[in-house]
Chains A and B, each alone.
Chain A
Amino acid sequence: MSTGLEKQTPGEVTEDELEALIGDRALRRDDHLNAPGFVIRPDDVQDVLFDLRDEAGFDHLSCLTAQQYEDRYESIYHLKKYDDPTQEVSVVVPTSTTEPVSQTAEPVFRTADWHEREAFDLVGIDYEGHPDPRRILLPETWQGHPLSLDYDQEKPQIVTLSEHANPIQPDHHDEESDTMFLNVGPHHPATHGVLHVKTVLDGETVVDVDPDIGYLHRCEEQMCQQGTYRHQIMPYPDRWDYVSAGLLNEWAYARAAEDLADIEVPEYAQIIRTMGAELCRIASHMLALGTFCLDVYGDFTAVFQYAFRDREVVQDILEDLTGQRLMFNYFRLGGVAWDLPEPREEFLEKTRDFLDELPAKIDEYNDMVTSNEIFQVRCTDTGILEPEVAKSYGCTGPVARASGVDYDLRRDDPYGYYENLEWDVVTRDGCDNYARVLCRMQEVEESAKIIEQCLDLLEEWPEDERNIQANVPRTLKPDADTEVYRAVEGAKGELGIYIRSDGTDKPGRFKIRSPCYHNLSTLGVMTEGEYIPDLIASLGSLDIVLGEVDR
């Protein structure tokens, strides 16, 4: 059995070739569980990354992890290939404790812009040559770097309120500027949470966009570092992408931690996980559709309510399965919390009913939304995101797939039970808001296919082989200095977790790679030069959840 679409795998780059490519610039090896790692000097960053991107084809800067050890700071560039994400390489850049300065990777990958800002903000590494070295999650006036070892939590912080200035005011010849600075948010009907978009307008045209994030920053990484692997971390992922994508997030942590502790998950539990995750994806995409229509239609209209009505059915099923509607906390390391609810037939029946009714509902959406001509003129050719730009910004998920980037971790880096099921990866080449909406709607259909197959498998599974949990030690203590970066296909894209163990039962460093964070960083290139309504529509089509952006 295989997935419907087989992607052509490009020539694999062997470790020897990588070693030869990096050559003398590699000071030593620092291999991670998921990828070979090369330690390089801070002033070789751009050089090495350019070579890896252009010579070896590592075109996806998946994540940048910054951390502080007793004797050094470290930036880890986790590189992958969009064509084959199982090929990974880590570039480790140590810098001294006294003078943590490292070369910026921004000219190589645009996504390094926000990543390095975050690394500076939370850990305190300076990136030399960075075009915009500001804090990103914390306020500008914050003192200290919270994830650095010498950070004083008790120190009171003063956050001043200063008026936002028009960043391109100096571009104009005199005081009488032609542009107007407009704060879209943090309290605005269409920002989908607490997002502040500093916008500069020329009439109705958007000339400059700067998303200001961090309003929902809840120190999730640090909280995870204070929890034990076995039980205390799992509740947190539910709170990242909190609108019904909970199980997908939990899987990201489960996958990383299971790889770290070498836990084998029983097949039966994998099927339940796969089904639950796809239910979450449907719920999440329904919400995305509903809120996008809210942005385009203007009010709480029929489409929004219909989307919520249909999502409600999924929520009910998830509630039956997990006992919760929002914060599921259903996955466990090595399995899931409990088996399908009894009576099983009833649950299977209910889920099947939902799947049976789904095609008719999708048709209804197609009638009401996607074939509406006003909707089409509003959405086509607005919010253009070219494939190369999407890759450079590290976009993943429906946002990348709607730009023709054929990248889906469920197929390309298989986990769970996906590789044994028949389904397709949806890609569209419209690159615009319309393509993103269609992409999500088609993904709902694909998810339904997956769930249907899972239901069949679950129904026929012999009763005495329903093993939902592997044997996992009560206390997990992975070997010190084991590092792993693992990602799953979340509702919004590649949701990755980096964990470094320090020999205790809690992670030494826990880093979350949020797909929304990357997708949001493209807002500027997507909307500059377009009208305000398109800015709002494009923001909606990115389908961001601020809980995941800010973490």
Chain B
Amino acid sequence: MIEVPLQQSDTVLLPERIGELTGLDQFGMAGELLAAFLAAFVVGNLMLAMTGVAGPWAKRKITAAFTDRIAVNRLGPAGLLIIVADSVRLLSKEIIIPENADRPAYDLAPIVVASSALLGFAVIPMGSGIHLADPEVGLAFVFAVAGIASIGLVMAGYASANKYSMLGGLRAVAQNVAYEIPLVITGMSVVIFAGSLRMSEIVAVQQETLVALGPVAIPAWFAIVNPFAFVLFLLANFAEVGRNPFDTPEAPTEIIAGYQTEYSSVYFVLIYLGEFLHIFLGGAIIATIFLGGPDGPGPESIGIVWFLVKIWGVFLLTQWLRSAVPRVRIDQLIEIGWKGLLVLAFANLILTAVIVGLIA
């Protein structure tokens, strides 16, 4: 049997480490597979736990802080046990399925939405050795799987047999198409800098020191090297995850809840989970390609902490915008995407290419 290495970098990935620790690596393919499953289980659950905290609790607390309220404070310290109560509540609700729903599509949509986001975390280096896979096409893979969510949204919008869902689904597609291109093109400018699509290399390049101001060394994070691209990417990302000012596909006051109007109980939880995972995945991509990934002061072993801080920072920003910024209209949204962001993204790409070409 020929060994096909999944990756060629020198970093030790989580499946390998688990394999070594548990001795599973002695069992060949089967052992490797089992170790990979275990690693995926760990990472997946980490992310799910984060959304579990974010959805029922953190989001409420953050929004409340912005809007002069208190939010959950009755169950447990600072209302933290609401997470348990909400889980029980949401899972024990009745599933109401519309009569004319297009069944397989209607049932699959929430799963597609949630799983596509989860898949993206596979290639994200989270520091402290938590990194599932490091393929050569890492960045492209993340964009690709995140894009699958659009299919889920269309399925949800179409299969619900509800006009509001339909409008929401159409808006979601229009928005994702319009913003995915600037998103990917802005991401490409980072690839020009790093010279690789491999996530671990993108992170490694950013750990070099850009300028040293006395004792303070400013790292070469791409957000610092190219703040313009950072802002572009951040904007496109908000549209991609459908958050204010670009939350038009849901737009509760206009089209009720868009594509998720007809989803209840577990399906509703799945769709919501998917949305939060997407926000976190967006945060993870931003952290990885612009904020140096797990890079931060202190020993390398606490990398995961810095990584989580960065993800939550992006999450906080989405909640802030949600509380304070009006939603743009659908036609304005498309206009901003095609006429503004796309042009700027290309300008950024060309400029970056020229600059990198001149320097290197």
Q: Which residues of A contact B (CB under 8 A)?
A: 180, 182, 188-190, 204, 293-302, 304-306, 309, 368, 372, 374-375, 377-378, 531-534, 536
Contacts and interface: CB of A to CB of B under 8 A. Distances in A.
A295 B329 contact: no
A534 B329 contact: yes
B218 interface: no
Given A297-B325, A533-B330, A534-B329, A302 B67 contact: yes
B331 A378 contact: no
Contacts of A300: 63, 67
Given A204-B330, A374-B325, A533-B330, 4 more contacts: A295-B253, A377-B328, A378-B332, A533-B251
29 contacts: A180-B163, A188-B256, A189-B252, A189-B256, A190-B253, A297-B244, A297-B327, A298-B247, A298-B253, A298-B322, A299-B252, A299-B253, A300-B67, A301-B67, A301-B324, A302-B66, A306-B67, A306-B68, A368-B324, A374-B327, A377-B328, A378-B326, A378-B328, A378-B329, A531-B331, A532-B254, A532-B255, A532-B330, A536-B254
B67 A296 contact: no
Contacts of A306: 67-68
Contacts of A180: 163
A305 B256 CA distance: 21
B328 A301 contact: no
B326 A375 contact: yes
Given A189-B252, A532-B254, A299 B322 contact: yes
Interface of B: 63, 66-69, 163-164, 167, 244-245, 247-248, 251-256, 322-332
Nearest to B252: A189
Contacts of A536: 253-254
A49 to B, nearest CB: 39
A375 B325 CA distance: 8
Contact of B245 (A182, A189, A293, A374): A374
Nearest to A293: B326
B232 to A, nearest CB: 18
B254 A533 contact: yes
Contacts of A304: 67
Contacts of B252: 189, 298-299
A533 to B, nearest CB: 5
A301 B330 contact: no
A374 B328 contact: yes
B163 A305 contact: no
Contacts of B255: 532
Contacts of B163: 180, 182
Contact of A305 (B67, B247, B251): B67
A536 B330 CA distance: 13
Contact of A372 (B248, B251, B256, B326): B326
A293 to B, nearest CB: 7
Nearest to A297: B326
A443 B208 CA distance: 59
Nearest to A368: B324
Contacts of A299: 244, 252-253, 322
A309 B69 CA distance: 10
A372 B252 CA distance: 21
Contacts of B245: 374
A42 B256 CA distance: 47
B324 A377 contact: no
A306 B66 CA distance: 10
Contacts of B326: 293, 296-298, 372, 374-375, 378
A309 B329 contact: no
A189 B253 contact: yes
B256 A298 contact: no
A128 B63 CA distance: 56
Which among B67, B163, B253, B322 has the greatest number of chain A C-beta atoms within 10 A? B253
Contacts of A296: 326-327
Contacts of B247: 298
Nearest to B327: A298
A188 B285 CA distance: 36
Nearest to B251: A298
B219 to A, nearest CB: 33
Nearest to A377: B332
A375 B327 CA distance: 8
Contact of A531 (B66, B244, B325, B330): B330
A376 to B, nearest CB: 9
Contacts of B167: 204, 532
Give the most central of A294, A298, A368: most B CB within 10 Å.
Answer: A298
A368 B330 CA distance: 22
A536 B248 CA distance: 13
A302 B324 contact: yes
Nearest to A373: B326
Contact of B69 (A293, A295, A305): A305
Nearest to B67: A305
A356 to B, nearest CB: 20
A374 B235 CA distance: 14
Nearest to B329: A533
A214 to B, nearest CB: 22
A249 to B, nearest CB: 27
Contact of B323 (A301, A372, A374): A301
Nearest to A294: B253
Contacts of B253: 189-190, 294-295, 298-299, 536
Contacts of A301: 67, 322-324
The 9 residue pairs across chains A and B that have the minimum distance between CB atoms:
A305-B67, A190-B253, A298-B327, A533-B329, A297-B326, A374-B326, A302-B323, A375-B326, A302-B67
Nearest to A309: B68
A189 B257 CA distance: 10
B68 A305 contact: yes
B24 to A, nearest CB: 47
Contacts of B63: 300
A189 B252 CA distance: 7
Find the residue from A189, A204, A294, A536 having the highest chain B CB count within 10 A.
A204
B305 to A, nearest CB: 30
Contacts of B325: 297, 372, 374
A531 B329 contact: yes
A189 B332 CA distance: 22
A506 to B, nearest CB: 43
B76 to A, nearest CB: 24
B318 to A, nearest CB: 12
A402 to B, nearest CB: 19
A368 B66 CA distance: 13
Nearest to A530: B329
Contacts of B322: 298-299, 301
A367 to B, nearest CB: 11
A497 B248 CA distance: 43
A30 B66 CA distance: 61
Nearest to A301: B323
B158 to A, nearest CB: 14
Contacts of A298: 244, 247, 251-253, 322, 326-327
Nearest to A536: B254
